[in-house]
């Protein structure tokens, strides 16, 4: 979708928490992360997702909730 509409819209991905964290609700073994507890851990998991999926977006941090 981003490729098709990138000239008409800005796309962002918001990473809030690990939906299927290995220490909370594991869903297989393809991608396994424990639930991040710090901003640094959250940014690291988000960066791994960006690299794995090759989605070409910037990582922005600034909250820890």
The residue-averaged pLDDT of 2-8 equals 85
Query: In angstroms, rounded to a whole number, what is the distance separating the alpha carbons of residues 1 and 56?
Result: 13
Q: Is the pLDDT assigned to residue 17 strictly greater than 80?
A: no
Average pLDDT across the chain, whole number: 77
CB 38 within 8 A of CB 16: no
Return the pLDDT at 64: 47
Indicate if the alpha-carbon torsion angle 64, 47, 19, 60 is positive or negative. positive
pLDDT in tens, 27-45: 766 668 888 888 888 888 8
């Amino acid at each position: 979708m981003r490729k098709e509409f990138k000239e008409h819209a800005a796309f962002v991905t918001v990473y809030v928490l690990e939906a299927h964290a290995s220490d909370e609700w594991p869903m297989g073994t393809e991608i396994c992360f424990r639930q991040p507890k710090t901003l640094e851990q959250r940014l690291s998991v988000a960066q791994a997702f960006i690299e794995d999926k090759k989605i070409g977006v910037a990582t922005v941090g600034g909250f820890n909730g």
